Structure 1
Amino acid sequence: MFNIDLFPQALKSDENGQTRSCLLKKTTMGESVTEQELWFAYPINLPMPADDDCDSYLLATLLPAMQLRAAIRVHGSVSHELLANLTELQYVWNKWLPERYFLIDIQVDRIRARDVQVEGAIAAFSGGVDAQFTAYRHATGRAGYATRDIKAGVFVHGFDIPLDDTEGFDSAVEIATKVLSDINVDLLPVKTNVRTLWSIDWEEYHAAAIASVLCGLKRYAGIGLIGSGDSYDVLLTPWGSHPITDPLLSGGNFRIIHDGAGFRRSEKLIILSNWSIGIRNLRVCWAGNKHDRNCGHCEKCVRTRLNLLLAGVDNPACFDTPIDSSLFRFMVLKSDAVRIDWYLIRQEMIETGKGLEWLPYIEKVLKRKSSPKLSGLLPFGSKRRMWVKKMLMRNK
C-alpha cells in the first residue's frame, strides 16, 4: 500500500514563462520513499493561482493514486467543491472498472470553502476535429444559449506531442495560432510532464490530465471546455472524457464543461466545413514521424478522411495526397473504440448514400480480426454491446 504526499512548491518565473510545480512523495508500508516533481509551465504575464493551491496537482494525481490504492495527503489547499466532486468521481471509476480503480482516502491541510470564479472560458485545443469544433462554435456564437466567451485555446506540449519534440510543437503552435486568430481567439502554449509521470492508460486518464492543465489558468478564465469525442447516442463507457465524469473535474472557482456531445464527428465536420482555414489545418495524427502535420495513412487519418467525405469535403489540404484504396489494404483496427467508429461511418454512408464507393474497403477492414476485448468497453447487457453485436451479424 502507498501513501502519496503532495507538497506545493513556490512559483518559478523568468523571461521564458512561469512554472507551477508540486513535489510528490510516495511512501510504501516499508517506509521506502520516492520523490518526483509534477510541473506545469505557462506563458509569462498570466495570473497564476496561489502557491499553496493544489487543485491542479490533485486532479493529476487522483486516478493514478486510485490504481495504486494510495492514500493522498495534500500539504496545501483544495477547493471544497472539488473534493466533493472527486469523491463522486472515485465512485464512478470504481463502478466502471472495480478491478483497476480503488476507493482511496484524501486528506487536505486546508479546505477552501468559498472561491471566486472569474469570467470567460478557455478550451483545450490540439487542432483536431473535436477541439476545432468547440473553439469555432463558441467563438462564432453557434452554441446558442450555451455559448461561452472563449478567451483562448490551450495547446499542451507533452500530451500527443512528446516533450523532446520542440521543433514539432513549435511548428504546430504556429499553425494553431494562425487558425485561432481567424476567429479572434488567442493560443496559450503550455508544457507539462503529467503524462510521463504515471504508468496509466491514457484513454482513461486524458481528461483528468487536461483538466489539471486548464485548472492552473483559473485566474485567467473560470470555465474550461473539453471537446467531446463520442456523441450522446453512442457514448463509450468507460472512457476518460465523458459527460458523466468531466463535470466532476470542476472546483469552486473553475468549471469543466464536456462540450459538443450533441454532434457526431461527421456532423461537426459539416459545421467546420464553413471554416476553410480550420479545415485546411486540421491536425488529427499522432502516428506520423512529424507531429505538426498529418501522415495521411494511419488509422486515424483514414478515419478522418472518411468522416470528411460524409461531411461533403473531398481531399482537403490538411492531407498531402488524395484518398485511395491502398490506404485500406493493411488497415487493422486495434481497439473496440476505433472499431465502433468505423461501424458508425459505415452506417452513415449507407443511410446518406455518401462515399459508397469506399464501402467495400470499409467492409474488408471491419472483417479483419483484431482480438477485441468487448467486456471492458462494451459491458455485458449494455445497449452499446447489443448494437455492435447486431452490426457484426449484418456484416457476416
Structure 2
Amino acid sequence: MRITQIRFEYEQEELVLHARLDWEDNAYSGEDLFVRYHGALEASALGAANAFFIAAAIPAMVFGEARLTLDQPVCPTLRRNIGTALNWLNHWFALRDQPLELEVETVEAAELQAAAVTASYFSGGVDSWATLLRNHRQYASGHPGRIRRCMSVYGLQRGITRENFDAATAVLQEVVAQLGVELLTAETNIYRHWMDRDPGFFYWTRTYNGAALAAVAQGVPSQLNRVLIASSDHMRSMEPWGTHPLLDPCFSSHDLQVEHDSIDMSRLQKTREIAGSPLALAHLRVCDVQPPPGFFNCGACEKCVRTMMMLEGLGALRGSGLFPVDRLEPSTLLRYGNMDLEFEDYLETLPLLLEQGREDLQRPIEILHRRQRELDFRGLLKRLDRRLLGGWLRRRYGHVGYLSAPAQRGR
C-alpha cells in the first residue's frame, strides 16, 4: 500500500487533510482519503502524515498488503508504537503469517507543542459523558489535565445520517459549552472507503475503531497534547478489541498522547455518574437511529432499552425526557434486549430494579439470560446456524434480536 500526495489546505473556515491511497497487492481501486475539520485550526505536514499513517496501517495489514509506504516522514515515536499495535492485533487475531513491512521514514526533530490541552471523543453517549464528567471531578478548571475540548467525528459508522449527526452535535455543542468545553467536529472517509469490505464490522470492532479516532486527533497535534478514548468495557470483562488499554496508547506520537479512559468503571457506574448530572441526563444520546421529533433517542433498540433499564434501576428514567416513553415495559425489554452483547449490564442492574419495585422486569431478564446461554429454541437455532450454515442466518437476518450480530460499541 502506498500513501502519497499528503497535504493540507484551508477551505473557508475548514481545515482539510488529503492523501492518496493505492493498493499494491489487492485489485482494489485507489482512494482519495480526507479528514475535514470544521473550524479554524492549525495543521502541519507532520500531523497530516501521522494521521494517514495510523489510518492506513491496519487496513494494509488485515487485507494482506506486503508493505506500507508513505511519501512523507512521520514521528519516530509513532513509528515504533504502530509496530507494537500491529503485533498486538496479530497476536490476538492471527491475521497473517508475515508482518506488514513499514517502509516509513521518520523526522529528525520534534515539533514544538503550541498548547497543553486535554481532549476526549464525545458522542453524547454513556461512555463519553462519563469520561467528561469524571475528568471534571478529578481536575480543577485550571489544570492541564482537565478536558477543555471534545471531538465528534462523522463517517466512521453505518446507519447514522448526516442530518442526525448535525442535529445532535448542534445541541451537544451548546451543552458542553456550559461546562467550559469546546466541541470540535470532523468528517472523514478513512474507514468509509473500505466499510463495504468489512461484513459484520469485524475489522472495525476488533482492530480499527481506536485507530480511526486517534488518526483524527493526530491530524491537529498543535491543538492538543492528550486525548482520551472512553472505554466501552469494564476491566473484568475486557477482551481483545479495537479500542483497548493495551492498544490505544500505541497510537501516540511524541506530541500527542492517546489514552484509554475509565476501564475501571462498569456501564452501570457510568450511568450513575450521568444520573447525578442534570445537564448530562437531559442530553444523553445513546443510539444513532433517527429518533422521533423532540427526542434524542429512538427508545426501540438494544442500546436504548439497556440504558432505560439502568435509569429505571437508578430511579432516573421517569421525567428524563430522553425517550418516547418514561417507563420501561417488560414486553419492550424482552423484545429489544439482547444479553449476547453486554450480559453483565443486565445482571448488575437487576438488584437495583428490585429495589425500585420493578419486579416485573425480573422475568424478562431471566428469559434473556437463558437465551444468552442458548438453553431455549432460539439458542438451538443460533447453534445450528453457526455449525451448519456458517452464521448465514445471523448475517441475513441480523435485525432480528435473537440472531443479531454484536453491535458497535459507541463512545
Q: TM-score range by the shorter chain?
A: 0.7 to 0.9
* Residues 1-396 of structure 1: pairs in structure 2 closer than 5 A: 4-28=1-25, 34-50=29-45, 53-70=48-65, 71-99=67-95, 103-112=99-108, 114-117=110-113, 118-141=115-138, 148-160=145-157, 165-198=161-194, 199-200=197-198, 201=202, 202-204=204-206, 205-235=208-238, 237-288=239-290, 293-315=296-318, 316-322=320-326, 323-331=328-336, 333=338, 339=340, 341-350=342-351, 353-354=354-355, 357=359, 358-368=361-371, 369=378, 371=382
Q: TM-score under structure 1 normalisation?
A: 0.83
How big is each residue's C-alpha offset from its partner over 1:326-347, in whole Å with a ceiling of 9 and x where there is no partner?
A: 21343363xxxx5252334214
Distance across 2 between alignment mates of 1:102 and 1:344: 39
Distance across 2 between alignment mates of 1:320 and 1:278: 18
| 3-state SS, counterpart of residue 256 of structure 1 | strand
1:367 CA drift (Å) = 2.4
Residues 42 and 99 of structure 1: is their aligned pair in 2 closer, same or farther, counting only changes over 3 Å?
closer
Aligned to 1:394: none
Residues 173 and 161 of structure 1: is their aligned pair in 2 closer, same or farther, counting only changes over 3 Å?
farther
Higher helix share: 2
Distance across 1 between alignment mates of 2:313 and 2:41: 41
| 3-state SS, counterpart of residue 64 of structure 1 | helix
Distance across 2 between alignment mates of 1:115 and 1:307: 46
Q: Could you list the runs of 5+ residues in structure 1 that have no partner in the other structure?
A: 374-396
1:190 CA drift (Å) = 0.5
Residues 297 and 162 of structure 1: is their aligned pair in 2 closer, same or farther, counting only changes over 3 Å?
closer
How big is each residue's C-alpha offset from its partner over 1:209-261, in whole Å with a ceiling of 9 and x where there is no partner?
A: 111111112110011111111112221x2211111111111111111011111
How big is each residue's C-alpha offset from its partner over 1:70-107, in whole Å with a ceiling of 9 and x where there is no partner?
A: 11001101111111111111111111100468621101
| 3-state SS, counterpart of residue 154 of structure 1 | strand
1:43 CA drift (Å) = 2.2
1:12 CA drift (Å) = 2.2
1:176 CA drift (Å) = 0.9
Residues 22 and 367 of structure 1: is their aligned pair in 2 closer, same or farther, counting only changes over 3 Å?
same
How big is each residue's C-alpha offset from its partner over 1:313-364, in whole Å with a ceiling of 9 and x where there is no partner?
A: 223221121211221343363xxxx525233421442488545521211111
Q: Which region of structure 1 is more displaced relative to structure 2, 81-90 or 308-317?
A: 308-317
Q: Which region of structure 1 is more displaced relative to structure 2, 85-94 or 280-289?
A: 280-289
Equivalent residues of 1:26, 1:33 under 8 A apart: yes
Equivalent residues of 1:132, 1:278 under 8 A apart: yes
Q: Structure 2: which amino acid aligns with 1:203?
A: T
| 3-state SS, counterpart of residue 184 of structure 1 | coil
Distance across 2 between alignment mates of 1:181 and 1:192: 24
Distance across 2 between alignment mates of 1:216 and 1:290: 35
1:183 CA drift (Å) = 0.7
Paired-residue identity, %: 24
Distance across 2 between alignment mates of 1:102 and 1:313: 52
1:134 CA drift (Å) = 1.2
Equivalent residues of 1:310, 1:349 under 8 A apart: yes
Q: Structure 1: which amino acid aligns with 2:247?
A: T
Equivalent residues of 1:168, 1:290 under 8 A apart: no
Q: Structure 1: which amino acid aligns with 2:122?
A: F
Equivalent residues of 2:46, 2:75 under 8 A apart: no
Residues 140 and 161 of structure 1: is their aligned pair in 2 closer, same or farther, counting only changes over 3 Å?
farther
Distance across 1 between alignment mates of 2:80 and 2:171: 39
1:140 CA drift (Å) = 4.0
Higher strand share: 1
How big is each residue's C-alpha offset from its partner over 1:114-153, in whole Å with a ceiling of 9 and x where there is no partner?
A: 3444411111111101111112222343699x98232211
Q: Structure 1: which amino acid aligns with 2:321?
A: A
Aligned to 2:404: none
Distance across 1 between alignment mates of 2:109 and 2:354: 56
Q: Could you list the runs of 5+ residues in structure 2 that have no partner in the other structure?
A: 372-377, 387-411
Residues 157 and 290 of structure 1: is their aligned pair in 2 closer, same or farther, counting only changes over 3 Å?
farther
| 3-state SS, counterpart of residue 343 of structure 2 | helix
Q: Which region of structure 1 is more displaced relative to structure 2, 76-85 or 339-348?
A: 339-348
For the aligned residue pairs, the C-alpha RMSD in angstroms reads: 2.8
| 3-state SS, counterpart of residue 225 of structure 1 | strand
Equivalent residues of 1:139, 1:184 under 8 A apart: no
Residues 231 and 157 of structure 1: is their aligned pair in 2 closer, same or farther, counting only changes over 3 Å?
same
1:110 CA drift (Å) = 3.7
Equivalent residues of 1:18, 1:43 under 8 A apart: yes
